Amino acid sequence: METTVVDVPEKGRFEVRVGERVVGLASYHVEDGTMALPHTEVDPSMGGRGIGTVLVSGVLDAARERGLHVLPYCSFVRHYIQQHPETLDLVADDDKPHFGLATADT
């Protein structure tokens, strides 16, 4: 079955779906060109399948397409950004130290 990430703005979240089944979500709030990401969750029965990674990748891709910075309050999102340095630019330089994402060249 296909895994997709879908924005559901009326619920303030992205959903990750396997087929038609919602198996995870990432809540968000957009204000002043910044997407705050406070929480992600994946159905425990779907653990270990990379569903969370697909979800966060889709959310960050959407933020990039919309020209938004992100505030990775969720530890899973922060970890993803740390493991995928090509996404680090989505966090504004001034916000990076707050999230432990400061690098030697910032």
Over the chain (106 residues), what is each successive 10-residue block's mean pLDDT? 95 97 98 97 94 97 98 97 96 95 63
Q: What per-residue confidence (pLDDT) applies to 73?
A: 98
At 22, which amino acid appears?
A: V
Q: What per-residue confidence (pLDDT) applies to 1?
A: 83
Q: What domains are there in the chain, each with its CATH number?
A: 3-99 (3.40.630.30)
| Helix, coil or strand: residue 69 | strand
Q: What per-residue confidence (pLDDT) applies to 106?
A: 42
Please answer whether residues 29 and 12 qualify as being in contact, where contact means their C-beta atoms are separated by less than 8 angstroms.
Answer: yes
Query: CA 80 to CA 59: how far, in whole Å?
Result: 11
At 1, which amino acid appears?
A: M
Q: Where are the beta strands (DSSP E) in 1-42?
A: 3-8, 13-18, 21-31, 34-42
Q: What per-residue confidence (pLDDT) applies to 2?
A: 92
Q: Closest Cα partner for 76 from 91, 58, 55?
A: 55
